[in-house]
């Protein structure tokens, strides 16, 4: 091809780098223009060569793949970033995507999938390993199902739990050895933290969040 996809490859393991480079060397539309064995070198070579796609490992000396991704987004936004790593832990996945990576592929992927990921990133598409895409969807779903709320204290949870069982403020006070006014104060904090406007709404929200159980 007259205009191959210019790639920078960064990984601190020479053997791994050599193996990945072989995949790219067999692709007629990809050219590896530089290699780096640490994050600091990766930044320097990206600035020098301005590759179309930077293929980065996450764990590298001097600067991680996440650090390099942030630097790319701040300084050479036109460079696509593909993370190629053995790590599929949720914190890594979210940190990389939040840093602005265009793709995230595991080293266990087939060579053809890794090559296609480079092409996809170059074309402006997202390139996500199926396992990573699943984690991302699960994360999004869990965020939707579990709205943010300020945690209840142990005593607030006790008070709301008894309220959910139908106890009056006075009965709750007797049960816990506190005054009616203190019970009311705890309930008011529960309403505020759970963004509820009534006793019933607060109890329902606490049950849906798994904070308390209400006996049938």
Residue 20: CATH number of its domain: 3.40.50.2300
What pLDDT score does 216 carry? 46
What is the number of domains present in the chain? 2
Residue 101 lies in a domain: yes
Using the 8-state DSSP alphabet, how is residue 104 labeled? E
If one counts every other C-beta atom within 10 angstroms of the C-beta of residue 166, the result is 10
Residues 140 and 187 in one domain: no
Q: Residue 170 belongs to what domain range?
A: 154-208
What pLDDT score does 2 carry? 67
Residue 149 lies in a domain: no
Contact of 60 with 10, CB cutoff 8 Å: yes
Report the DSSP beta bridge partners of residue 82.
55, 103
Residues 138 and 180 in one domain: no
Residue 214 lies in a domain: no
Phi/psi at 4 (5° precision): -70, 160
Residues 159 and 138 in one domain: no
Residues 158 and 139 in one domain: no
Residues 36 and 59 in one domain: yes
Residue 94 lies in a domain: yes
The whole-model pTM stands at: 0.65
Name the one residue in this structure whose structure tokens are 């869990």: 142
Residue 216 lies in a domain: no
d(CA 113, CA 129): 9
Residues 10 and 98 in one domain: yes
- CATH number of the domain bearing residue 177: 1.10.10.10
Residues 86 and 51 in one domain: yes
Contact of 122 with 53, CB cutoff 8 Å: yes
How does pLDDT run along the chain (216 residues), one tens digit per residue? Answer: 569 999 999 999 999 999 999 999 999 999 999 999 999 999 999 999 999 999 999 999 999 999 999 999 999 989 999 999 988 877 788 888 888 899 999 999 999 999 999 999 999 888 888 877 777 776 666 655 555 678 899 999 999 999 888 888 999 999 999 999 999 999 999 998 888 887 888 888 888 888 887 654
- Helix (H) / strand (E) element for 118: namely helix 111-122
Residues 37 and 134 in one domain: yes
Residues 117 and 12 in one domain: yes
d(CA 74, CA 81): 13
Instruction: From 112, 144, 176, give the residue that closes a domain.
Output: 144
Residues 87 and 167 in one domain: no
Tokens of 204: 């329902």
């Amino acid at each position: 091809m007259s205009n191959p996809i210019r790639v920078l490859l960064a990984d601190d393991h020479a053997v791994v780098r050599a193996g990945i480079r072989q995949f790219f060397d067999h692709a007629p539309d990809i050219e590896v223009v530089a290699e780096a064995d640490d994050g600091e070198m990766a930044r320097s070579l990206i600035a020098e060569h301005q590759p179309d796609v930077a293929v980065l490992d996450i764990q590298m000396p001097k600067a991680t793949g996440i650090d390099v991704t942030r630097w790319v987004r701040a300084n050479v936004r036109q460079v696509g970033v593909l993370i190629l790593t053995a790590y599929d832990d949720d914190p890594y996945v979210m940190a990389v995507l939040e840093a602005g990576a265009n793709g995230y592929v595991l080293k266990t992927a087939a060579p053809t999938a890794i090559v296609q990921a480079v092409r996809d990133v170059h074309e402006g598409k997202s390139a996500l390993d199926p396992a990573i895409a699943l984690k991302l969807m699960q994360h999004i779903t869990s965020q939707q199902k579990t709205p943010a709320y300020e945690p209840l204290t142990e005593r607030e949870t006790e008070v709301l739990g008894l309220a959910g069982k139908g106890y009056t403020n006075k009965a709750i006070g007797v049960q816990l050895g506190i005054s009616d006014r203190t019970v009311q104060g705890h309930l008011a904090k529960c309403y505020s933290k759970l963004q509820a406007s009534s006793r019933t709404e607060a109890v329902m929200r606490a049950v849906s969040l798994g904070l308390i159980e209400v006996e049938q």
